[in-house]
Structure 1
Amino acid sequence: MARVRVRQHVNPLSSKYQQSVTIPNLRDIYGDINKPLHLDIGCARGRFLWEMAQVEPEWNFLGLEIREPLVIEANNWRDEHSLNNLHYLFCNVNISLGEIFEYLPKEVLKRVSILFPDPWFKRRHQTRRVVQPKLVEDLANYLTVGGEIFLHSDVEEVAKKMCDRFSEHNSFYRNSNDWLNENILPVLSEREKATLAKNQPVYRALFIAGNRE
């Protein structure tokens, strides 16, 4: 399948992305809706989740992406390979996350990944970054106790800011004050592979859901 050409950046604060989206009945999509769920926020072309869904068939995987053409491409790719534990959804996660979880069983969310989100370097654009206090609060409401949040970036300042957001919330604690030396997930994202191939650093952190002592 030919790759779809799309814009690298879209402004999540524009009016186009402030609207609710149609959420499909996820019970009709997944072979078993009660499997533990891994949510990937900003899944891009979805290849990371596509590999994960095959490595861990006992899990369900849901990728959220704000660029709709990439979602269409990813679901077509999923269908060609007949995976019933994987779905991709077009949405602005800071608008639609609560609506999505109306279609899922309670306490099914066990793992979240936010891998190499758009850094939005300019100070005036940093409110466009995906990890905002509302997202952290929403994840606190849906992630089960003991659930994991994986944060990866190749920009240290962005990684630190994401960590600050989660550290500020009493429902999450970081498993280590240091960056993780290696990826502890069974699959590397496309961006991580490319970054490591250039001998550049990746800043990784793991947060656990659960009230701090």
Structure 2
Amino acid sequence: MSVVRVREHVNPLSKKYQTPASPPDWQKVYALPDQPLHLDIGCGRGRFLLEMAQCQPGWNFLGLEIREPLVNQANHWRNELGLVNLYYLFCNANNSLRPILNSLPTGTLQRVTIQFPDPWFKRKHQKRRVVQPELVNDLASALPSGGVVFLQSDVEEVAMEMGDRFSENPAFSQPNHWLTENPMPISTEREQSTLKRGKPVYRMLFVRK
């Protein structure tokens, strides 16, 4: 697989990314649009979902990513493999998530992952972080009872902030604080490289009440 080189950081508050994305026709995107849906917010190069879609053909998978070249490349890989349960969408999740969720077939969203989001370390830039209260509210409205949100980061501060945002929302419960193992059958490239370097990964799971 050839790899497109793109900028690592994209400012979601810049003017270029303020127009919400138009949701696609899900009947055309997925062969079986009523299958349970796994949403990966900030999917990067999309290889996690590429493997998940092959591992779990009874699910549909949707990746959201703000860097358009990565989305184009990921959809190219999907097409090469002939996967009919996977789609990548170029968008800014902070202003496009609600219309996307509202357009999905009713009751299909069951699982959400947000993995290793851009930490935006500088305090003045932290409003660019993807997990904001509005995003949590949108997920709370879309997920059914028993739906799950899995979070992970290699930056403890970022993981704690994401966890705090979900903990503050009364729609979610947290069975355990930190998870020692990844509950997903596939791990991301970032997780693999972090663990290989002997560094910790901070993981949390939230369940829609």
Structure 2 length-normalised TM: 0.98
* Cα shift at 1:21: 2.0
Q: Distance in 2 between matches of 1:26 and 1:32?
A: 9
The Cα offsets for residues 49-83 of structure 1, whole Å up to 9 and x where unpaired, read as 00000111100000000000000000000000000
Q: Distance in 1 between matches of 2:21 and 2:56?
A: 29
Correspondence for 1:99: 99
**1:32-181 equivalent positions in 2, closer than 5 A:** 32-177=32-177, 179-181=178-180
* Cα shift at 1:171: 0.3
Unaligned ranges ≥5, structure 1? none
Q: Is the 8 A contact 1:30 1:86 kept in 2?
A: yes
State the AA in 2 paired with 1:41.
I
* Cα shift at 1:20: 1.8
Q: Is the 8 A contact 2:63 2:87 kept in 1?
A: yes
Q: Distance in 1 between matches of 2:132 and 2:195?
A: 27
Unaligned ranges ≥5, structure 2? none
Correspondence for 1:184: 183
* Cα shift at 1:22: 3.0
Q: Which runs of 4+ in 1 moved over 2 A?
A: none
Identity across the alignment (%):
60
Q: Distance in 1 between matches of 2:60 and 2:98?
A: 18
Q: Distance in 2 between matches of 1:138 and 1:22?
A: 17
State the AA in 1 paired with 2:51.
E
SS in 1 for 2:103: coil
Correspondence for 1:204: 203
Q: Is the 8 A contact 1:27 1:103 kept in 2?
A: no
State the AA in 2 paired with 1:79.
N
Correspondence for 1:14: 14
Q: Distance in 2 between matches of 1:170 and 1:142?
A: 14
* Cα shift at 1:98: 1.8
SS in 1 for 2:54: helix
State the AA in 1 paired with 2:22.
T
SS in 1 for 2:185: coil
The Cα offsets for residues 78-106 of structure 1, whole Å up to 9 and x where unpaired, read as 00000000000000111111221243211
SS in 2 for 1:39: strand
The Cα offsets for residues 154-209 of structure 1, whole Å up to 9 and x where unpaired, read as 000100000000000000011112x1111111000110000011011000000000
Structure 1 length-normalised TM: 0.96
Question: Pairwise CA RMSD of aligned residues?
Answer: 0.8
Q: Is the 8 A contact 1:4 1:69 kept in 2?
A: yes
Q: Distance in 2 between matches of 1:101 and 1:160?
A: 25
